[in-house]
Amino acid sequence: MGKRENRTKPPDPATLCKSKDPAAVRELLTKVGDKWSIFILLTLEMFPDCRARFSAVEKCIPGISQKMLTVTLRNLERDGMVSREIFPEVPPRVEYQLTKLGETLLEPLQALLDWVNANSEQVRKSQRLFDQK
């Protein structure tokens, strides 16, 4: 994985996707690469026990709408990345927690976010150069 040495033969197209179903791989990749999913999962990690209520997550993610938070959380629950617990109180309280599966995604996602934080300035520079010609 992540080999950098030169190759002398053209790659086999099947090498990238181990799956028989490339569309399914694409779809899941789209979901785990989604910005809101990434932010939500990494936000949950920051709380004690990887556990927080709806409003707490919302406060930590600038720019997310209530709708997108709801929708993305529901999808993450469906995918088995977070669990959802409802407390029968007034006013209502709902807590979300990373599952074990969700936790295994943290490292790759953090690596991606780290890359973005580290290189956004260089990317912007490249864009300016590209645009002025």
**Shortest distance in whole angstroms from residue 72 CB to its own copies:** 13
Question: Are 82 and 99 spatial neighbours (Cβ–Cβ below 8 Å)?
Answer: yes
For residue 83, the partner it binds in DNA, its own copies, none, with Cβ less than 5 to 8 A by kind, is none
**Shortest distance in whole angstroms from residue 19 CB to DNA:** 18
For residue 20, the partner it binds in its own copies, DNA, none, with Cβ less than 5 to 8 A by kind, is none
Rounded to whole angstroms, the Cα distance separating 35 from 109 reads 10
Q: Around Cβ 105, how many Cβ atoms within 10 Å?
A: 20
**Identity of the residue numbered 131:** D
First vs last C-alpha separation in the chain: 37
For residue 55, the partner it binds in DNA, its own copies, none, with Cβ less than 5 to 8 A by kind, is DNA
Give the binding site for DNA (CB under 7 A): 53-56, 58, 65-68, 70, 73-74, 84, 91-94
Strand partners, 87: 93
For residue 84, give every residue at least 6 positions away whose Cβ sits within 8 Å of its Cβ, in sequence order, or none: 73, 77, 94, 95, 96
* Residue nearer to DNA on the CB measure, 2 or 91: 91
**Shortest distance in whole angstroms from residue 75 CB to its own copies:** 10
For residue 49, the partner it binds in its own copies, DNA, none, with Cβ less than 5 to 8 A by kind, is its own copies
**Shortest distance in whole angstroms from residue 66 CB to its own copies:** 16
Closest CA to 31 of 105, 116, 132, 121: 105
